[in-house]
Amino acid sequence: MDWNEVLREIAVIQSAEGEVPVRGVQYDSRRVVSGDLFVAMRGGSADGNQFIDKAISQGAVTVVTDSPEAYEKLRQKHAGTGAALVEYGRRALAEASAAIFGHPQRHLALSAVTGTNGKTTTAFLLEAMLKSVGRSCVLIGTIETHIAGEVRESPHTTPESRDVLELFSEGAKAGATEAVMEMSSHALEQERVWGLPVDVAIFTNLTQDHLDFHGTMERYFAAKTRLFEGVGAPPPRVAVVNVDDPYGQRIAERIERSQLVRYGLDVAADFFAEEIRMRAGETRLRMRTPHGAVEVRSPLTGRVNIYNLLAASAAAWARGLTLDQIAQAAETGAQVPGRFEVVPTDTGVTVVVDYAHTDDALRNLIVLARELVKEHSGRVITLFGCGGDRDRTKRPRMGRAAGEGSDLVVLTSDNPRSEEPGAIVAEALVGLRETGTESIVEEDRAAAIEIAIRSADKGDIVLIAGKGHEKMQILRSGAVPFDDSAVAARVLRGER
């Protein structure tokens, strides 16, 4: 693609034009190869403008910068290099990437999920429903990325726009017609999803999280609402909103240019669940909609998964599936790694690994566990920790949530990062002690898992919360391999 053609798709302040062939686009100078456009942009922790010289030395033939000083220096030092000055670096990255990858976003119908809890499960369910009727999908989310059936690891919940568009391009070339994305509040606020046309937008819920980044719940909420306003694109055609959630009600009240589809349990909604029957490994319900009612059976368990099922069903309906097709797809389910993942054992103790890492998610998980052990008069044993370098105010709240519903709590470490594990534990312990629930503190997570499982008797359930699908423990010294499911399995086998 010619540099002049790229410039026509970017909102520039100044530019040096030229008939320079551009073969690719990068924002990380370490990934630049000959013929690339390098987008230098200021970020929260680093300034890409510091790496312009390195990018050019590695073969960048054109540079887009959001720094007037860097632009002037570039023009003086590298006069033969194509250059452009822009106001918003991330927007320019999205616009340039869309042009260079051939606008793959125009070839995929995009459904996007945002909220504090439930994004991953809802996205997996929706993808499974779409695939059940023969549609090929791209899925981008916290755990995995799927490209028309190929499974890859996901480094971020929502990547930078350049990487999203490359995945979309690969998917479109492989025959995909649908895309399902988790859109994090960080990505929405930072405009990593600039210019992506969302067909169906889904809101799950909003509870306290990420205040280390957003500062307040109102700012966190404002970031989420951007999905329904459109980020450099028109508002979504359809907005699927959980109106049982107070923040969801606020979003629903603001919807003007999208078709609003409400879902919920506790208030009148368009997609509503009734006659709910749950047991371990199965949920049955009757889903009522303005378009009829259908019996639904799902291998997913718990109230939170009913919400996820309703959200995915409403979105699938918006994408053209019938209620019967939705019900048939729901029956096969979509097992999401680290989301109420049962570790196999014949000991009579149920061990569950779950990603719950907020007080609301932990409380929901424990409520579900209490329902499952009720008929056997079993106990709920909960293991949890709090992440380092993250919102400190939720630590005592998580301690309180764990203590209020459990019979025994094992408090441990969970990705302490640069902080001292003991200091994190002490802050969570404040809320836990308020409940008076029996507790054990063990900072070593592997030892804590062993304590929790060895404390259980037949009929009890052990919840290992916080890390879910993650395979690393992030310490001050760096990341080390750690898998909750694998550690639990070893303990259950009697291994050390």
54 labelled binding-site residue:
no
Please answer whether residues 297 and 282 qualify as being in contact, where contact means their C-beta atoms are separated by less than 8 angstroms: yes
242 is known to lie in a ligand binding site: no
The model's pLDDT over 357-369, given as tens digits with 9 standing for 90+, comes to 999 889 989 998 9
Residue 207 assigned ligand-binding role: no
390 is in an annotated binding site: yes
Distance CA 255, CA 247 (A): 13
225 marked as binding residue: no
Residue 82 annotated as lining a ligand binding site: no
29 labelled binding-site residue: yes
- What is the pLDDT at residue 214? 62
Q: Which residue segments constitute the domains of the chain, with CATH numbers given?
A: 3-100 (3.40.1390.10), 104-332 (3.40.1190.10), 341-492 (3.90.190.20)
288 annotated among ligand-binding-site residues: no
pLDDT attached to residue 483: 96
pLDDT of residue 463: 98
Alpha-carbon distances of 465 from 73, 196, 384, 388, rounded to whole Å: 51, 34, 5, 15
pLDDT at 213: 66
Q: Rounded to whole angstroms, how far apart are CA atoms 253 and 262? A: 11
Q: What is the pLDDT of residue 211?
A: 65
- Establish whether 192 is an annotated binding residue: yes
User: Is 115 one of the annotated binding-site residues?
Assistant: yes
Q: What is the mean pLDDT of each run of 10 residues along the chain (496 residues)?
A: 94 89 96 97 86 96 96 93 96 98 98 94 96 97 90 84 97 97 94 97 87 79 96 98 97 96 90 90 92 95 92 98 98 80 92 92 92 88 96 95 97 96 97 98 98 97 95 94 96 89
Residue 302 confidence (pLDDT): 84
Asked if residue 158 belongs to a known ligand binding site, the reply is yes
- Name 473's Cβ contacts closer than 8 Å, sequence gap at least 6: 413, 415, 445, 467, 479, 480, 481, 482
What whole-number distance in Å separates Cα of residue 412 and Cα of residue 237? 45
- 335 assigned to a ligand binding site: no
Q: Say which residues have a Cβ less than 8 Å from residue 495's Cβ, sequence separation at least 6.
A: none
Does the annotation list 417 as a binding residue? yes
- 383 with 487: CB under 8 angstroms? no
The span from the CA of 345 to the CA of 287, in Å, is 34
Question: Is residue 120 marked as binding?
Answer: yes
